Every structure is written in C-alpha cells, then in structure tokens.
Amino acid sequence: LSLSDIAQKLKVQNHVASQIINTGHGKNFYDFINSYRIEECKKLLRSQSNSSKNLLEIAFECGFNSKSVFNDSFKKFTGQTPSDFRKQIFSN
C-alpha cells in the first residue's frame, strides 16, 4: 500500500492525501499505516492459534517487510518490544 494508491482511490493528488492524513490523524503516512499494522500484529499475537508462529512471520503477515521497522514501530506504538508483548500475553 502506498500513498499513491490512497490518493488514486480518493481521486486526489499525493500531497492532498498526505495532508488529509497529517491533519486528520496527526500522523505521517507511514505512521498511519504502521499503526494499523501494529494493531493487527497485536491481535495475532494475542491469538493462541498463532503461538507457534515466530514474530517475523507475524510481522510479514501484517505487511512489514523488515524486522527492524517492525520492531521499531511496535515499540513506538505500544511502548514495548514484540517479544515482551507476547510474554506478557501468555504469562497472564
């Protein structure tokens, strides 16, 4: 998914789509998209059926193409690492 894809769907120029995201959500395009990806990752991590999957598999399923971007984004939006999040879920 790219900013161009969103702009095309909205039938606006890229900079207009970017401005809508920035002003409407207080985030740049990448943070906007990654916040949704992280929410999906959290959902998958909470699911017992995904407990055998490693974190990178879950990151890829949610649209991340890089382990470091996944880890950085996860920490940015949750305040903890994906590993710590998973440990916390299954320790309760």
For 26-83, what is each residue's pLDDT tens digit? 999 999 999 999 999 999 999 989 889 999 999 999 999 999 999 999 999 999 999 9
Provide φ and ψ at 83, rounded to 5°.
Answer: -60, -45
* Whole-number Å distance between alpha carbons of 57 and 51: 11
- Split at pLDDT 50, 70, 90, the class of 92 is low
User: What pLDDT was estimated at residue 1?
Assistant: 83
- Residue 21 pLDDT: 93
How far apart, in Å, are the Cα atoms of 22 and each of 16, 26, 37, 69? 10, 5, 18, 20
- Report the predicted TM-score, pTM, of the whole model to 2 decimal places: 0.86
With cut-offs at 50, 70 and 90, classify the pLDDT of residue 89: confident
